[in-house]
Amino acid sequence: MQSSGPTPVVSGPKQTATIGPSMTIKGEIRAREELLVDGEVEGLLESQSLLTVGPNGKVRANIKAREVVIFGSVRGNVEVSEKIAIREQGSLIGDIKSAGISIDDGAYFKGSIDIVRPEPKVTTKPVKSEPRVEAHAG
């Protein structure tokens, strides 16, 4: 029997790769999907999506991602194209290059911050639209 309630709108499967609390990885990790690091990683981390360092996460690596959220500890430089957030118990020792940043009360940060403005997606001059001419066959 089907329920008469509204069906949830799903915009495709949300893929998240997880490095669990019992895992220790040394090397380079590159991902296109979201990545949750709740274990130990040493080396290089790259994600074309959101990278989350969980509360058990201990990262000794340079990070390059679209967006980063830190609940655990990170030692290394972080470069994000959108925004970085260091949450209440999170800590980051390293330099940040980001378009946006958020550091909660109780978070620890030591390093420099380089705020980069995102490149404008359109030209600075307004584009004049050409007048549209319609021909009618009579």
User: Over 90: is that where the pLDDT of 38 sits?
Assistant: yes
User: Over 60: is that where the pLDDT of 6 sits?
Assistant: no
Which H or E run includes 127? none
Span between the terminal Cα atoms of the chain, in Å = 58
Does the reported pTM lie above 0.85? no
Domain that holds residue 21: 16-115
CA angle 46, 71, 40 (to 5 degrees): 55
pLDDT-based confidence at 50, cuts 50/70/90? Answer: very high
pLDDT score, position 117: 81
The single-letter DSSP state of residue 90 is: -
pLDDT score, position 9: 45
Residue 122 lies in a domain: no
Mean pLDDT of 36-49: 96
Residue 38 lies in a domain: yes
> In this structure, are residues 78 and 61 in contact, taking their beta carbons and an 8 Å threshold?
no
The alpha helices in the chain, defined as continuous H runs, are none
Residue 48 lies in a domain: yes
> In this structure, are residues 59 and 36 in contact, taking their beta carbons and an 8 Å threshold?
no
Average per-residue pLDDT for the chain: 86
Query: How many domains in the chain?
Result: 1
Residue 9 lies in a domain: no
Q: Which residue has the higher pLDDT, 120 or 66?
A: 66
Token couple for 135: 């021909």
User: Over 90: is that where the pLDDT of 134 sits?
Assistant: no
Amino acid occupying residue 131: P
Residue 1 lies in a domain: no
